Amino acid sequence: MNPAIIKAKTAKPLDRRARRTRQAIKESFAALAANRPFPDLTVKEVMERAGVNRATFYAHFSAPSSPREASRASSSARRA
């Protein structure tokens, strides 16, 4: 997957708070995806579990499938 999806939408590097937020969203997504198939997940469920609001979710990810893609990219990078 495109490594650019891991970066914020802006060109600025992520600060600690933004990295923590993105990690919470990715972990929330992974936990929910472990119990149900991806098409059945909603942004609302992911954001509620992560403790962020919808605007924050979309500030970090451009589409509902983005956390899944970011998780795959980061796990692929760790294996390499």
- Tell me 13's DSSP state: P
Task: Report yes or no: 64 and 28 within 8 Å, Cβ to Cβ.
Answer: no
Task: Report yes or no: 2 and 77 within 8 Å, Cβ to Cβ.
Answer: no
- Hey, is 56 helix, strand or coil? helix
Distance CA 53, CA 59 (A): 10
Token duo for residue 15: 């600060």
For the stretch 57-66, pLDDT in tens is 888 887 777 6
Whether this prediction's pTM lies above 0.85 is answered by: no
Look at residue 50 and tell me whether its pLDDT is greater than 90.
yes
In which band, very low, low, confident or very high, does the pLDDT at 4 lie, cut at 50, 70 and 90?
Answer: very low
Query: What's residue 1's pLDDT?
Result: 40
Choose among 41, 53, 55: nearest CA to 71.
41
For the stretch 8-48, pLDDT in tens is 455 566 789 988 998 999 899 889 989 988 888 888 999 99
